[in-house]
Amino acid sequence: MLRSVLALLLGVTACAAADFSVLEGVPIQEQGRKKPYLVFAQETTLALSGKTAVTVDGRKWSAQELVTTLWLNPAGWESRPLILINNRDLKKAIGLDPMQKLFAYRDLEANPQLRQLLSEAQSLRMKPGSPRLTGLPKEASDVGMQLAEFESLVNGSAFRFVANPRGGESPWFAVSADQVPALRDALTRNDADAFRAESLKLKTQWAAVEPALQPPAWRINLELIYQKLHPFRWAWILYLGAGLALSLSFRFSLAYKISWTLAVAGLLLQIGGFAARVLIAGRAPVTNMYESILWVAFGTVLFALVFEAIYRSRYFLLGAIPVAVVSLILADTQTIALSPAINPLTAVLRNNFWLTTHVLSITLSYAAFALALGIAHIALIQILAGKKPASPLYNYLYRTLQVGVLLLATGTILGGVWANYSWGRFWDWDPKETWALITLLGYLIVLHGRIAGYWGGFGMAVGSVISFLAVLMAWYGVNFVLGVGLHSYGFGTGGFGWALAFVAAELVFVATAFARNRTLRTSSGSKSGTKPEEPVAAR
């Protein structure tokens, strides 16, 4: 008993003085990619616990501390609450406290209800066609993957530091704790100098096994800088500052210049972040939901700045900044549903010019429509406040919608070209294709109705808000709600409640604005004897 307690205390206190300045940059292979150990540790801790740092018995453990301890001195950690389970239905089904977040490996591994659900999930996978898991089997399967991750850390199989002479994408060789006794002893003794020296020695030894297979040092260093700098986090902070300055610009002209400066600085930070991800991954930075959100935020601000340079109006930045800030905050904080990990592409997506141009065009169209959404909100909020929207506001909205429609049409056609190139057919009524077409038709109706005089600026603003719900379905709903079709590489889970709340809020907002506009028109018409005309079709 005393021995177990000592082992537990040792395991939970070790690593307090470890120096990771060398080990953090040692290349390790995971999921077909070679990355710095720091990145591996943070992604692993995020997958296990939902955060890149974990508090155990009142002490905060960094990702490197936790993962290294599980590797070199795992005694007692199987009873520590490290594994995150968010789904309440699953927790109730397997007899766990629905309010508790983190659970111990030992308790989950021995849970009979969880084992039963994992068995059901495995049976479903064995069925013809490999149907997509949903509900409790899907949630249980996710926990099963976390358990397997924990096991791979404890038994050392996750620590693939030694290159495989076969080259290519062959798995590297794992290093167990028994193979690095000096490093383990330094960790146990809390000897920072010895830990650093042994890390340097091992780094040199492992790199010498197959030098040609090691990733370039500049790429490892770049990824370390990217991981520590958090460029997209600083971008939304700068955008938020730009928004605050912009709110003061109606009274102080200098504030407008400050907002411009901060917005450009945020945009440059995003460009730097994208450049880093491209150099690290060797591909375009728009291959999953996380990256597409970053790209939409970037495109929204970029379009706003271009239009601001042309029209010298505050409304474009005023419409863009809330969209960009909210998008980047979501990407920065919702790391479970929106994984920031840089993963290699599936074979069908690699080295494809048409795919890259298709995806970039589509996501830039979403950015233009998001900017239009922001401008439409400004107009409708003015109506709710009992004011007539500023005269050029509807024309600004019209121009923004034109850009979005052009990009969406181009991106949809390029998607067909890529589909024909990859799968031998231009169009297959895949859910993603279908909703892209629905979105395009929705915005075309809004624009053509405006040109034909079926509705004026107010109708166009309302149509912009409603049509963006189709964008949300094509962008998020197909991948995260439907989860079927040829775009399976983009599937994910989570956030459905937030998306539903957004849709409901927008519908209520539009209905309220519609009722308010009708009241204003009636009141204005009764005073003048005629109903006021809305602005004519935009030029």
CA distance 51 to 49: 6
pLDDT value at residue 338: 86
CA distance 144 to 219: 33
pLDDT in tens, 106-135: 999 999 999 999 998 888 877 776 667 778
Q: How confident is the model at residue 421 (pLDDT cuts 50, 70, 90)?
A: confident
Question: Does pTM top 0.75 for this prediction?
Answer: yes
pLDDT in tens, 507-523: 999 999 999 988 887 77
pLDDT in tens, 249-286: 988 889 999 999 999 999 999 999 999 999 998 888 88
pLDDT value at residue 401: 97
Q: Could you say which DSSP state residue 439 is in?
A: H
In this structure, of 74-88, 359-373, 423-437, the range with the lowest mean pLDDT score is: 423-437
CA distance 333 to 254: 33
Q: Which two tokens stand for residue 506?
A: 């927008």
pLDDT value at residue 345: 72
pLDDT value at residue 380: 95
SS3 state at 82: strand
CA distance 454 to 192: 74
pLDDT averaged over every residue in the chain? 87
Average pLDDT of the segment spanning 214-227: 96
CA distance 279 to 284: 9
CB 214 within 8 A of CB 207: yes
Q: Which two tokens stand for residue 244?
A: 């605050």
> What percent of the chain has pLDDT above 90?
65
CA distance 361 to 414: 9
pLDDT in tens, 408-419: 999 999 988 887
- Terminal CA-CA length for the chain: 83
Q: What is the residue-wise DSSP string for 518-533? A: HHHHHHHHHHHSSPPP
Q: Which two tokens stand for residue 13?
A: 């206190």
pLDDT value at residue 536: 42
Average pLDDT of the segment spanning 439-463: 93
pLDDT value at residue 310: 94
Average pLDDT of the segment spanning 131-155: 90
Average pLDDT of the segment spanning 74-83: 94
Domain ranges of the chain: 2-206, 230-344, 351-539
pLDDT value at residue 3: 40
Average pLDDT of the segment spanning 485-500: 64
Average pLDDT of the segment spanning 452-457: 89
CB 85 within 8 A of CB 91: yes
pLDDT value at residue 530: 42
Is the pLDDT at 538 greater than 70? The verdict is no
Is the pLDDT at 526 greater than 80? The verdict is no
Q: Could you say which DSSP state residue 426 is in?
A: S
pLDDT value at residue 8: 43
CA distance 118 to 108: 12
pLDDT in tens, 314-366: 999 999 999 999 999 999 998 888 889 998 776 666 656 777 888 899 999 99
Average pLDDT of the segment spanning 70-99: 94
SS3 state at 345: coil
Q: What is the residue-wise DSSP string for 184-246? A: HHHHHTT-HHHHHHHHHHHHHHHHHHSGGGSPPHHHHHHHHHHHHH-HHHHHHHHHHHHHHHH
